[in-house]
Amino acid sequence: MGITIMSRDKGSVVRLYCESIDENELCVVCDFGDGKEVFIPKSQITDDSEVWESGQEGELEIPEWLAMDRGLIWFISLLSYSRKKEIQQVNLLLG
């Protein structure tokens, strides 16, 4: 699964490859390759997304906080947290 994290004016967004399998007026139901159904609010899908309705396949672009909340990028947030701790420790040693 390819993940791209980008900074935008309103915060970081991620692009995740998925297939949309269902939708209603408020959300799209996506499969990210593991067979689990993940509900993504349409209001959080960016204009640059390739997926926004049922039957589409491609890169879904959503805010990073939502991807973490849905468990789609927990390992990236863990690595990011670990990296921040390492940087803080280096800054303390150099400071």
DSSP code, position 58 = E
Tell which residue, 58, 42, 41, has the closest CA to residue 50.
58
58 pairs with which residues across the strands? Answer: 18
User: What is the pTM assigned to this prediction?
Assistant: 0.69
Q: How far apart are CA 24 and CA 41, in angstroms?
A: 10
User: Using an 8 Å Cβ cutoff, are 64 and 13 in contact?
Assistant: yes
Q: What is the pLDDT of residues 76-94, one digit of tens each?
A: 544 455 555 555 555 556 5
- Token pair listed for 52: 């926004």
81 or 67, which is more confident: 67
Q: How far apart are CA 57 and CA 8, in angstroms?
A: 23
